[in-house]
């Protein structure tokens, strides 16, 4: 975890990471830029301020854990891991290549810093519950962060996990819903209405907070509230824009590529 919160530094870092997301997906010729760009500000905050991690010792027992349950947006996590030193930045340009350590979805057996293989939507929170419960049983004080897509919470397994997290009073578990209101087939609430999101999670026994997922000051404030949770898991509904700043970054990328 960082010593001093610096919103300006985090904004600048997120801009840098956005450019790398666009570059790596462009070189690969495939990928998911929209959801990666909506998620990158939260991921930047976690990796550059909030989480207790050590790139030189990825398996450090006391590290905080991050699970990207919406695994198709792996580029957003890859760019942060590379910049933090988990693997060389040059590996980013091999995204989705045969034999690359960076496949289209996170693979814990291929990529340093990946806590859980994801991609089958709806499963990541269950994994997070297991890891958080394991931490409690082992007397560890690490936090487990799980990012879900808003379309992903249409999956029934998410709610089984939500119920278990509340039952076991996992206050070391923090979920983040990247609420950009779009999924593959269209608007989330037209495909399968997920509202009222806040009331649903609260009814499952979670502390629920909402934030602008692109405003670092608001992001910091809401995570600080989560840190005060006792005997309940916390859920952050991050209101985001799918493809946030994509056109700006594409223009910058073309000028410098």
Over the Cα atoms of the chain, what is R_g? 17
Fold classified for 7-256? Rossmann fold (3.40.50)
The residue extents of the domains of the chain are 7-256
pTM: 0.94
Q: What is the pLDDT along the chain (257 residues), one digit of tens a residue?
A: 556 899 999 999 999 999 999 999 999 999 999 999 999 999 999 999 999 999 999 999 999 999 999 999 999 999 999 999 999 999 999 999 999 999 999 999 999 999 999 999 999 999 999 999 999 999 999 999 999 999 999 999 999 999 999 999 999 999 999 999 999 888 999 999 999 999 999 999 999 999 999 999 999 999 999 999 999 999 999 999 999 986 555 555 555 55
CB contact at 8 A, 209 and 234: yes
User: Alpha-carbon distance 54 to 135, whole Å?
Assistant: 18
């Amino acid at each position: 975890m960082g010593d001093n919160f610096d919103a300006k530094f985090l904004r600048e870092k997120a801009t840098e990471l956005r450019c790398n997301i666009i570059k790596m997906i462009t070189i690969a010729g495939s990928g998911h830029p929209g959801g990666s760009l909506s998620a990158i500000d939260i991921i930047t905050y976690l990796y550059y301020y909030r989480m207790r991690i050590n790139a030189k010792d990825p398996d450090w027992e006391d590290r905080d854990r991050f699970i990207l349950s919406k695994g198709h947006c792996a580029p957003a996590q890859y760019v942060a891991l590379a910049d933090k030193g988990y693997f060389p930045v040059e590996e980013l340009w091999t995204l989705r290549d045969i034999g690359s350590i960076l496949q289209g979805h996170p693979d814990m057996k291929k990529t340093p810093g990946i806590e859980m293989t994801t991609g089958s939507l709806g499963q990541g929170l269950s994994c997070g519950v297991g890891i958080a419960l394991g931490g409690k049983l082992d007397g560890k004080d690490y936090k487990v962060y799980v990012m879900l897509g808003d379309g992903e919470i249409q999956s029934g397994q998410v709610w089984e996990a939500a119920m278990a997290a509340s039952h076991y009073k996992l206050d070391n578990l923090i979920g983040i819903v990247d609420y950009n209101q779009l999924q593959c087939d269209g608007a989330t609430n037209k495909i399968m209405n997920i509202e009222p999101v806040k009331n649903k999670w609260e009814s499952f026994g979670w502390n629920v907070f909402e934030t602008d997922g692109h405003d670092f000051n608001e992001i910091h404030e809401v995570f600080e509230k989560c840190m005060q949770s006792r005997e309940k898991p916390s859920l952050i509904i991050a209101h985001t824009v799918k493809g946030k700043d994509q056109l700006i970054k594409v223009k910058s990328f073309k000028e410098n590529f």
